[in-house]
Structure 1
Amino acid sequence: MADVLVLFASKGDEKAYKQVLEALDKNKISYDFRVASAHKTPEDVEHILKKKYRVVIAGAGLAAALPGVVAAKVLCPVIGVPCSGNLGGLDALLSIMQMPPGVPVLCTGVDNGKEAAGAAAQMLKGYDKAVLVGGENAAMGKAEEVLRKFDVPCTKGKAMDASALNLAFIPAAHLPKKEDGFAIYCPVAEKEEDAPELALALLKNSSRGLWVGLNNGTNAAIGAVEILNIGGKYTGKLIAYRKEQVEKVRAYSK
């Protein structure tokens, strides 16, 4: 069975997915490659996802719904690659990065298929603990709360731990500094800083690493749990968590 599913929405995304395939081949990681659209061929997407994988790399441009649709249907980590089209790929980047709390996609920079493949390789090595990195803020507090709910061993630190899965909380307007260690980046901003111009900073600063949405500590934590679950340790709790999310949404319709 292949470890990784590489799923892109269009042949036009070849610039990104070619990097993914070349890097996976170089690292001798097994994969299946498919092209299917969340909008045009949703039945094909459903069929493809019947097969289980340890990691999914999904990419799309424009509205870029595919990675989010995949994330809603699987419990494994989903790496999203925004593909360039209009607006320098900003539309796709925000569509993938700004997922609702509880359904994370770990977003690369625009067209950065090489980053996605490298991240998949890191995930497949396996981790057993998480480190919350950065100054205290509400997003970090939420992430810690979620990790505790899943009984994930976690600590806090000012620097990354090369032996752990790091959740780094950094100012949204700042480029992350290069450090040893694998990380999920969560950009943070105060309410008065949350303006449309911040999107351009995210477009620039996400050129390396994996990202969740602004102040979205929940998705940083759930993304971490999905990575830590590659061996199946947290599957039951992830299923229960998803059911809770479903019940919350459906309650509004009663």
Structure 2
Amino acid sequence: MKVAIVMGSDSDFPVVEKGLKILKEFGVDAEVRVISAHRTPDKAMEFGKNVEKRGIEVIIAAAGKAAHLGGVLAAETTLPVIGLPIKSSTMDGLDSLLSIVQMPKGIPVATVAINGAENAALLAIEMLSLKYDELKTKLKTYREDMAKEVEKKDREIQKRVSSL
């Protein structure tokens, strides 16, 4: 089980790191790279062409502004690509989101929320769970734990409200 997380810039790492932690929590290996669709286009295309040879099964492409990285990688491989739009100083990341989500017919890139690294990782895990049953079990437990946490917070709020 291996996911590639490719960032257009090292400044994307604080966002990407949140998803990387989830992948590690689930026992999914990750290869993390900085490759720019615009500044190193040959490297991006070569990475996309050869990514499967390294055992990668899903790609998360994190990029801001024009955010073409996911599309460039998707054009070079048939592996699933998840676009992670990064909030930039321009338009609060809406430009990144729209750049990723508006892929032409035939070259899809799944897209998560702006700075949604956690959901990018979870979506990659869901994709991998089609092949690896142990991830399905871990996902069920993860969701059950989330539900328990919400129920706990609900009880705490009810106590606070009743004490007013």
2:67 to 60, 64, 71: 64
Deviation at 1:111, TM superposition (A): 0.6
Give the structure, 1 or 2, with the largest relative contact order (CA under 8 Å, sep 6 or more). Answer: 2
Matches within 5 A, 1:140-219: none
CA distance in 1, matches of 2:33, 2:42: 13
Return the alpha-carbon distance in structure 1 between the equivalents of residues 41 and 19 of structure 2.
23
Corresponding residue SS for 2:91 = helix
Letter in 1 for 2:114: V
For the residue of structure 2 that corresponds to 1:119, the secondary structure is helix
CA deviation profile, 1:109-164 (whole Å, cap 9, x unmatched)? 0011000000111110117xxxxxxxxxxxxxxxxxxxxxxxxxxxxxxxxxxxxx
Answer with 46-55 or 115-124: which moved more. 46-55
Look up the match of 2:108. 104
Q: What TM-score does the superposition give when structure 1 sets the normalisation length?
A: 0.48
Task: Give 3-state SS (helix, strand or coil) of 2:51's partner.
Answer: coil
| 1:45 partnered with 2:44 | yes
TM-score by length of 2: 0.73
Structure 2 regions of 5+ residues with no counterpart? 132-164
1:76 aligns with 79
Letter in 2 for 1:25: K
Aligned to 1:14: 13
Normalized per residue, the structure richer in helix is: 2
* CA shift for structure 1 position 102: 1.1
Q: CA–CA distance in 2 between the matches of 1:105 and 1:35?
A: 19
Distance in 2, Cα, partners of 1:118 & 1:8: 17
CA contact (8 A) 1:57 1:80 kept: yes
Partner of 1:228: none
Aligned mates of 1:74, 1:51 — CA distance in 2: 8
CA distance in 1, matches of 2:47, 2:108: 20
1:24 correspondence with 2:34: no
Runs of 4 or more, structure 1, over 6 Å off, are none
Identity of aligned residues (%): 37
CA distance in 1 between counterparts of 2:73 and 2:51 reads 12
Contact conserved, 1:15 with 1:111, CA < 8 A, in 2?
A: no
Query: Given residue 36 of structure 2, which amino acid in structure 1 is its aligned partner?
Result: S
C-alpha root-mean-square deviation of aligned residues, in Å?
1.3
Q: How many aligned residue pairs are there?
A: 126
For residues 198-229 of structure 1, the C-alpha deviation after alignment (integer angstroms, 9 at most, x for no partner) is xxxxxxxxxxxxxxxxxxxxxxxxxxxxxxxx
Q: 2:83, 2:112 within 8 Å by CA — same for their partners in 1?
A: yes
Alignment correspondent of 1:147 = none
Residues 168-191 of structure 1, C-alpha deviations (whole Å, 9 max, x = no match): xxxxxxxxxxxxxxxxxxxxxxxx
Q: Distance in 1 between matches of 2:117 and 2:35?
A: 17
Q: Offset of 1:48 from its aligned partner?
A: 2.4
